[in-house]
Amino acid sequence: MNEDSGKNLKLTEFDYLLADPQLQMVKAALPYMGIPQQRIFSMLIKLRELNRTRSLFSDGELSAMGLSPSTSQNTSAFEMFQAIKPYASPKDREMIEMLENFQIMMQAMQSPT
């Protein structure tokens, strides 16, 4: 495991939409299984999550969390940076803040004086 992965991961709204209590129980049991079983169950878990994702898009549930095409036109890169910053490592957070500052400078230079 690298330093960026670990037990400090935060869940997004998208993760909560995919959450399934039965899958969480299987995930918790994975370390107690043999390697071949871990491999099989891990793939089955991801396939089930992928199927849930597909159904979320086809059922239109994602528009409730603001991921519909109609809302993406009203958002800015700055808002996106603010949304992803809590999930970033300290190094990535520093890069995001640099991009935010760059965007602020660009907006200031473009605004009429």
Look at residue 35 in the predicted model and tell me its pLDDT.
96
Clarify whether residues 79 and 64 are in a common domain.
Answer: no
Does 55 share its domain with 33? yes
In tens, the pLDDT along 94-113 reads 999 998 888 888 888 887 76
20-68 pLDDT per residue, tens:
889 999 999 999 999 999 999 999 999 999 998 888 878 766 665 655 5
Note whether residue 30 is domain-resident: yes
30 and 64 belong to one structural domain: yes
Residue 2 falls inside a structural domain: no
Asked, for residue 90, whether it belongs to a domain, the answer is yes
Number of C-beta neighbours around residue 56 at 10 A: 18
Q: Which domain range does residue 95 map to? A: 75-113
Same domain, yes or no: 37 and 56: yes
Residue 29: per-residue pLDDT: 96
Task: Give burial (CB, 10 Å; 0-12/13-18/19+) of 76.
Answer: exposed
Per the structure, how many domains does the chain have? Answer: 2
